[in-house]
């Protein structure tokens, strides 16, 4: 009888873990994804922005066509609204190709979960890659951003404007727009 009780309790716990695990692994609906993507930018931008859904393989599926040249999306845990030049810049970075010689603007009004400030290819925090978490911010891409004179320190203060990935082809300005929580 005791063995049966232990088995039933263990089965119930295992069943509960499986249900929780499946719920955590379920794919976000297009409506939920859209709300997350739109949270990245100001309403005046997001009202006319395209929304694309990034697949696990890097492919993009359009959920809503745009009217203003901006595209909102979620990459990993980061939410952003990018103008066309920023989309080109990010595409170049993801494909390890030279970025365009254009000024671009990107909104990340939800902030980010962090990135290496020295290694554009880093996927996680290490003891040496100068990880920085930035609250709500905008990013400026392109050669003009490099002339702003912002700090290029590896251990950036994310409460002030700074240059991310200084000295690399993917250097860009990070400009906080709200106090970090």
- Mark 3-13 as b/e (b = at least 16 C-beta within 10 Å): eeeeeeeeeee
C-alpha atoms less than 13 angstroms from C-alpha of 134 in its C-beta half-sphere? 28
What does the pLDDT read at residue 103? Answer: 96
What does the pLDDT read at residue 16? Answer: 42
Distances (CA, A) of 64 to 31, 37, 72, 81, 150: 11, 11, 10, 13, 36
| Residues 109 and 94: beta-carbon distance below 8 Å | no
Task: Give the pTM.
Answer: 0.81
Q: Which residues of the chain have pLDDT under 50?
A: 1-25
What does the pLDDT read at residue 21? Answer: 39
* 37-55 confidence digits (pLDDT tens): 999 999 999 999 999 998 8
Fill in the DSSP letter of residue 117. Answer: S
What does the pLDDT read at residue 179? Answer: 58
């Amino acid at each position: 009888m005791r063995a049966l009780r232990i088995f039933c309790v263990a089965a119930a716990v295992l069943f509960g873990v499986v249900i929780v695990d499946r719920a955590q692994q379920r794919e976000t609906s297009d409506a939920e994804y859209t709300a997350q993507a739109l949270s990245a930018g100001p309403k005046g931008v997001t009202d006319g922005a395209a929304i694309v859904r990034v697949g696990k393989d890097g492919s993009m599926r359009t959920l809503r066509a745009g009217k203003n040249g901006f595209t909102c999306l979620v990459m990993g845990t980061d939410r952003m609204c990018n103008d066309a030049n920023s989309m080109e810049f990010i595409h170049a970075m993801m494909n390890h190709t030279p970025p365009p010689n254009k000024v671009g603007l990107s909104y990340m009004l939800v902030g980010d979960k962090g990135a290496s400030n020295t290694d554009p290819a880093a996927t996680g925090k290490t003891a040496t890659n100068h990880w920085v978490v930035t609250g709500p911010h905008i990013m400026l891409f392109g050669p003009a951003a490099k002339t702003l004179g912002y700090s290029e320190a590896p251990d950036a203060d994310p409460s002030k404007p700074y240059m991310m990935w200084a000295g690399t082809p993917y250097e860009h300005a990070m400009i906080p727009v709200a106090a970090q929580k």
